Amino acid sequence: RSARLGGIGTTIFAEMSALAAQTGAINLGQGFPDEDGPEVIRQAARDAITAGRNQYAPGTGIAPLREAIARHQRRFHGIELDPAREVVVTTGATEAVAAALLGLVNPGDDVLVLEPYYDSYRAVIQMAGARHVAITLRAPDFRLPVDELRAAVTPRTSAIVLNTPHNPTGSVLTPQELAAVAEVAIEHDLVVVSDEVYEHLAFARPHVPIATLPGMAERTVTISSAGKTFSFTGWKIGWATGPADLVDALMGAKQFLTYTSGTPFQPAIATALDLPDEFFTRLRDGLRERRDLLCAGLSDAGFDVFVPEGTYFATTDVAPLGFADGLELCRALPRLAGVVAVPHQVFHDDRPDGSNPGRTLVRWAFCKRTEVLEEAVERLRALR
């Protein structure tokens, strides 16, 4: 292993999904839906394969998909984009984040991230030779501590990785919080890499892309993915949008990471992006109902529950049930209750004194069928 992987272990999602597969436990760990997206979209992918669209697509993605992404950004967010120069198709949001950071951040730079952070951010920042600087969203509200964000900026800071709706806390940034981030970014001339994969899963308040704030379009790369919005996480089609110079830098890295992304999925996702508004509303409303079901069940089981404002993850504190360590609990949970979840602590930096703000926090995915969630909460009641 190279030095650039120092301290980077196996991602928690691989560990916990393997545990679920080995034990047959209900997997509320890794965030993927247990029902696929619409049949018309699956058919569109089959049609593309049958029609022989099985060789390399252009590196930036097929034009109809780039155009559909631009239409989506206009329809939902009022963002105008040139599909030829300001949109790139990527192999999931994961690649978009990696390519953006590799293409835009210099070795030795500081990059601000909201903690708890999606695990790939920290790994990629390290691989880019930069340093992540955590701004901690703390329970119970997981609000952005704006003063701490301002205080964290150094002369080396070059970028902020934003994520709203936020995985794993479920927080949706408020207009005030977004304005504060924008103010800091403009004042210090920072690039913002904004991971908005849960853009259609905001329950408490509308999701607002930071690129829509004054002065932000020219410094923001906005990232999303077909995985979450259309329930095709395994297709790994994502995208990045933003000003041509930033997208070009991202593409400079992407061309040598994967060069291009799965061809037959691209026309299918172009079709998906043009689905009527009701599709997106129903997705959100259906998940809100399942959020409420899971949160009520977790609360009945004796956990402290932090009801998420967005995403498809709910966070609990497991301390009220006598558990002192969320990672240990998650490793034992298949045996104790036949369920798999994900501990928050791996998305936090260990503090110099050995403490960790996420030590007793555990995340549960509710992008599962109602009967699966009902069975999971029934099993979890045994922990009391």
Segment lying near ligand PMP (by CB under 6 A), choices 67-75, 91-99, 273-281, 295-303: 91-99
Q: What is the 3-state secondary structure (H, E, C) of the chain?
A: CCHHHCCCCCCHHHHHHHHHHHHCCEECCCCCCCCCCCHHHHHHHHHHHHCCCCCCCCCCCCHHHHHHHHHHHHHHHCCCCCCCCCEEEECHHHHHHHHHHHHHCCCCCEEEEEECCCHHHHHHHHHCCCEEEEEECCCCCCCCCHHHHHHHCCCCEEEEEEECCCCCCCCCCCHHHHHHHHHHHHHCCCEEEEECCCCCCECCCCCCCHHHCCCCHHHEEEEEEHHHHHCCHHHCCEEEECCHHHHHHHHHHHHHHCCCCCCCHHHHHHHHHCCCHHHHHHHHHHHHHHHHHHHHHHHHCCCEEECCCECCEEEEECHHHCCCCHHHHHHHHHHHHCEECEEHHHHCCCCCCCCCCCCCEEEEECCCCHHHHHHHHHHHHHHC
Examine residue 29 and tell whether it contacts ligand PMP (CB under 6 A).
no
Residue 225's binding partner among ligand GLN, ligand PMP, none (Cβ under 5 to 8 angstroms by kind) is: ligand PMP
Which residue in 93, 104, 125, 250 binds ligand PMP (CB under 6 A)?
Answer: 93
Site size toward ligand PMP (CB under 6 A) is: 14
Distance separating alpha carbons of residues 164 and 152, to the nearest angstrom: 20
What is the rounded distance in angstroms from the CA atom of residue 128 to the CA atom of residue 244? 22
Among 29, 33, 83, 92, binds ligand PMP (CB under 6 A): 92
Q: Is 195 in the site for ligand PMP (CB under 6 A)?
A: yes
* Binding-site string for ligand PMP from residue 132 to residue 171, where x marks contact by CB under 6 A and - marks none: -------------------------------x---x----
Closest CB to ligand GLN among 303 and 347?
347
Question: What residues line the site for ligand GLN (CB under 6 A)?
Answer: 11, 13, 30-31, 167
The distance in angstroms from the start CA to the end CA of the chain is: 43
Which of ligand PMP, ligand GLN, none interacts with 30 (beta carbon under 5 to 8 A by kind)?
ligand GLN
The partner in contact with residue 92, picked from ligand PMP, ligand GLN, none with C-beta cut-offs of 5 to 8 angstroms by kind, is ligand PMP
Stretch that binds ligand PMP, among 87-95, 105-113, 249-257, 293-301 (CB under 6 A): 87-95
Question: Shortest gap between Cβ of 57 and ligand PMP (angstroms)?
Answer: 17
Q: Which is nearer to ligand PMP, 236 or 359 (CB)?
A: 236
Nearer to ligand GLN, 168 or 262 (CB): 168
Q: Is 229 a residue that touches ligand PMP (CB under 6 A)?
A: no
Name the segment binding ligand PMP (CB under 6 A); options: 86-94, 104-112, 254-262, 349-357.
86-94
Rounded Cα distance, 112 and 156, in Å? 11
Q: For residues 95 and 301, which CB has a smaller minimum distance to ligand PMP in the complex?
A: 95
Which lies closer to ligand PMP via its Cβ, residue 44 or residue 89?
89
Q: Which is nearer to ligand GLN, 182 or 340 (CB)?
A: 340
Judged by CB under 6 A, the chain residues 233 through 262 that form the site for ligand PMP are 233, 238
What is the nearest approach in angstroms of ligand PMP to the Cβ of residue 27?
15
| Binding footprint of ligand PMP on the chain (CB under 6 A) | 31, 92-94, 118, 163, 167, 195, 197, 225, 227-228, 233, 238
